[in-house]
Structure formats: structure tokens, C-alpha cells
Amino acid sequence: MAIPERVFSGVQPTGNLHLGNYLGAIKRFAEMQADYDCIYCVVDLHAITVWQDPAELSHNTREVTAAYIAAGIDTTKHIVFNQSQVSGHAELAWIFNCVARMGWLNRMTQFKEKAGKHKENASVGLYTYPDLMAADILVYRGTHVPVGDDQKQHLELARDIAQKFNVDFAESATNAGHPDGFFPLPEPLITGPATRVMSLRDGARKMSKSDPSDLSRINMTDDADSIAKKVRKAKTDPDGLPSEPKGLEARPEAENLVGIYAALANETVEATLSQFGGAQFSDLKGALADIMVAKVGPVGDEMRRLMDDPGEIDRILSDGAERARVLADANMNVVKEIVGFIR
């Protein structure tokens, strides 16, 4: 029996939600609602793999939830909740810790980047992070996962884990009524012109929550003046804009600003270049600031409005968690049967 299609994705509540998170993930989450049943999670268990101040963690969890809602996610038709409220994530992650191989995790570039030179001091959770991520998706038997480009390797690992589980437990899964394997191999959806939004100060670095320079990113809660100022100060190169995507090669700053414009305008890079080809950066920057204020500004305003009523956000998370738990518990029952745990 074919596994029904289901979208799952998540965002960490680690503060400074930025334009990369919005264009690479959250905006696309909203777009997928029309075609799929979607589950969007605020992944607080992932956040604590590096130290989080408890009060800030709660605040940031509500802020990501507010961003989901402000971006247009309908919490009545789809599921929005925070990860720690559904214990199936942590339970399945443990089982996956026993399926995944050390050699697989040793290859994860994000761990190497985040742990840096002080690997011995990194939390064990940071190392096994990708197993939890696989569990997030697979505890719902998620089939489609919209993410930014930086999550590609983790998604490949999730597929490897699903595959190995299906092979290791093939006989037992058949006995439990799943002859084709219990887990789907989840498909990463990394599409559109802004799957890797770069820093506004350095086209070689990703726009990131942890960049010490606030000028490097557009925060979702920036006001119109800061947005305009940051776009004005964005790094460029001395040439004019090309008319074809090929002309953006080896010009990371130009490629980034054009990609951001295209994503905000809901058009292709080709369409943006047919408008701006031959123009100066100052023309593109003027139009970019305008469209960013018009598109991101209202999302930030709505986030601030929602954050004024934290009780309502908590109610939405608790309602989403209740619905997520029903799905996760049913799947965990089968997983436990397959693994041989007495229930």
C-alpha cells in the first residue's frame, strides 16, 4: 500500500529569524498548503543542542510560531506545534541512533562547522542532531520536506536511515503488514531562486542567525527604515547587471540580490534579469528595498501583533501538538512492534 503524501518541515527557535529562513523555508511552507497535508514544527529539541537561555527559548519558540502564522500557514487545516510536546520525536530518534552508523554522522559538514575546533566540547546532541531530524520527518512518515540548500546532506542521511531501517527489519515489518518497508524515503524539496540566501555583507557566506553583523541579514522583524538601510549598504561589485543568468557566474553578490528580488516578486531569475539587465546596482537596490518593505514588512508587523498575545500562541501550539501526537503515537506503535518492543 502506498504511503500517503505528507509534508513535514521545521525551524529552530534560536532567535534572529531572517530573510533566508523566510524565502528558503517559511514562505514555501505556506505555498505547499494548497497541495499537501502539512506539519510544521518549531524544533526546540534541536535548539538545545547548543546552549539556550530558557526564557529566550520560550520567547523564540513563540516567535517562530508567529512567523509561520504571519506567513499564512493555516493552523486549523494544517499542524503547527513545538517538537518537545510530542515525545515520539525523541523516542524514534533513540531508535535511529541505533540504526545510523558513526561513519555516516562523521561526514556531516554542519556538525563540523558548528563544533568548529572544539569538537571535544560540543554536546553529544549536536553530533546526533541528524538522527533526531530524521525522526521528526519519519515519525509522521513524511514524504516531502521543503528546506533550504544547507539541509540537503541531513535529508540524504534521513533517507539512508529510512532505507537501513526498512532493510534491517524487512521480515518483521512484513509480519506487521508493511511488506514494502514501514518508512518512505523522504524527498527534499529545494526549489526556487532563494534556496541559499547569502549574507548582504559577503556573498561567500550564508545569511545566518549567528552572524555578529546585523547588517549581514534582514531580520523578519526589521522595520522599513532598517530594511532600506541594509539593502542600500549591501555589498555589490563594480559591473552593471547582466541580462542572462550566465552573467551572474562568479558574481556572488549580484547573484544573491537578484535571487532575493526574484523570490520576493514570485518570478524566475530570468524574468528579473530581463527587467534589470544593463541597469546599475542602484536601480536594483531601490526596487529591492521597495519590494522587501512591501512583502516582509507586513509579515513582521503581523508577527509583532501575534506576539502581543502569547497565551493564544501557546494555545495554538498545544492544539497542534495534540493532533500531531495522535499521528506520531499510531506510527510509534507500529515501529515498536516492528523492533520487537513489548507494548
Catalytic residues: 114, 206, 209
**Which residue in the set 151, 219, 221, 272 belongs to the binding site for ligand TYM (CB under 6 A)?**
151
65: left (phi over 0), alpha (psi -120 to 50) or beta: alpha
Q: How many residues bind ligand TYM (CB under 6 A)?
A: 25
Shortest Å, Cβ 340 to ligand TYM: 27
Nearer to ligand TYM, 303 or 337 (CB): 303
Contact 162, 138 (CB under 8 A): yes
Encoded one letter per residue, x for contact with ligand TYM by CB under 6 A and - for no contact, window 199-238 reads -------xx-------------------------------
- Judged by CB under 6 A, the stretch of 3-11, 100-108, 170-178, 333-341 that binds ligand TYM is 3-11
Encoded one letter per residue, x for contact with ligand TYM by CB under 6 A and - for no contact, window 129-148 reads ----x--xx-------x-xx
* Nine cell digits for residue 57: 527559548
Nearer to ligand TYM, 136 or 253 (CB): 136
Shortest Å, Cβ 209 to ligand TYM: 7
Encoded one letter per residue, x for contact with ligand TYM by CB under 6 A and - for no contact, window 18-37 reads --xx--xx------------
Nearer to ligand TYM, 57 or 337 (CB): 57
Nearer to ligand TYM, 135 or 241 (CB): 135
Shortest Å, Cβ 175 to ligand TYM: 29
Residue of closest CB approach to ligand TYM: 24
Determine, following the binding rule CB under 6 A, whether residue 157 of this chain makes contact with ligand TYM.
no
Shortest Å, Cβ 204 to ligand TYM: 12
**Which residue in the set 6, 27, 40, 46 belongs to the binding site for ligand TYM (CB under 6 A)?**
46
| 209 burial level (CB within 10 Å; 0-12, 13-18, 19+) | middle
**Which residue in the set 178, 196, 235, 285 belongs to the binding site for ligand TYM (CB under 6 A)?**
196
- Cα–Cα–Cα angle for 167, 168, 174, rounded to 5 degrees: 70
Shortest Å, Cβ 179 to ligand TYM: 27
Q: List contacts with ligand TYM (CB under 6 A).
A: 8-12, 20-21, 24-25, 43, 46, 133, 136-137, 145, 147-148, 150-151, 154, 195-197, 206-207
